[in-house]
Amino acid sequence: TISHKGDFKLAIQSLYLKASRAYYAIRKHFNFTNNTKPRTILRLFDSMVKPILLYASEIWSLFNWRSNTKNCILHSLLHMKHKFESLHTKACRNALGVHKHASEFMVKAELGIYPLSMNILCNIYKYWQHILNSKDHSLVAECLRWALQNHIFGHENFVTKITSLFHAIDLPNVLTSATESSQLSKIGTASSMVSGCVS
């Protein structure tokens, strides 16, 4: 769902509502206060709610920040309150049986889990690898070449957003150039680095 302005606010709201319905359906059938292990609750959330909540997050999450500066991107990733994080935090608090105003960071630290933004970063990186490794002359490869060309000419698009993100989190430069022979660069060394960032 895309608004008339071309942003993804409606899409994020729609996914949040669908994920919320799925979460409360789980709560309806499981008594979280009746000695249910927190790990069980989180496993249910990860398997039945998170896929809905983060559907296509490799696309819409890149448009959550207003400018492509490092400070703005890091602020969006680490400090802004997003709907997907609020539902995740609610599930974590319910799993521990603590007050709804309990510290988000303390609750997730107690459970030993990371914010969903880390999952989103992994989704973005995997999707970027999928694009780069697409077959030559495919529609995906052709779209990438057009996006790269527009990015070089100063027109902001998906490539601009993703390269700004990688620069902000100090990943190596993974921007590939579109050559006349249509050969797309393949990147294999950055995967271990992104694993280190999120583990």
Q: Of residues 177 and 109, which shows the higher confidence score? A: 109
Rounded to the nearest integer, the mean pLDDT of the chain is 81
- Distances 7 to 2, 4, 61, 80, 98 between C-alpha atoms, Å: 6, 8, 11, 18, 36
What confidence tier does 182 reach under pLDDT thresholds 50, 70, 90? very low
**For position 64, what pLDDT does the model report?**
85
Q: Of residues 8 and 29, which shows the higher confidence score? A: 8
Phi, psi of 66 (to 5 degrees): -80, -40
Segments in the chain forming alpha helices (H)? 9-29, 38-48, 50-53, 57-60, 70-78, 83-96, 104-111, 116-132, 139-152, 158-168, 190-198
pLDDT (tens digit per residue) in 87-110 = 999 999 988 888 888 998 899 999
Q: Which amino acid is at 114?
A: Y
The 3-state DSSP class for residue 138 equals coil
**For position 178, what pLDDT does the model report?**
37
**For position 37, what pLDDT does the model report?**
85
pTM, full prediction: 0.78
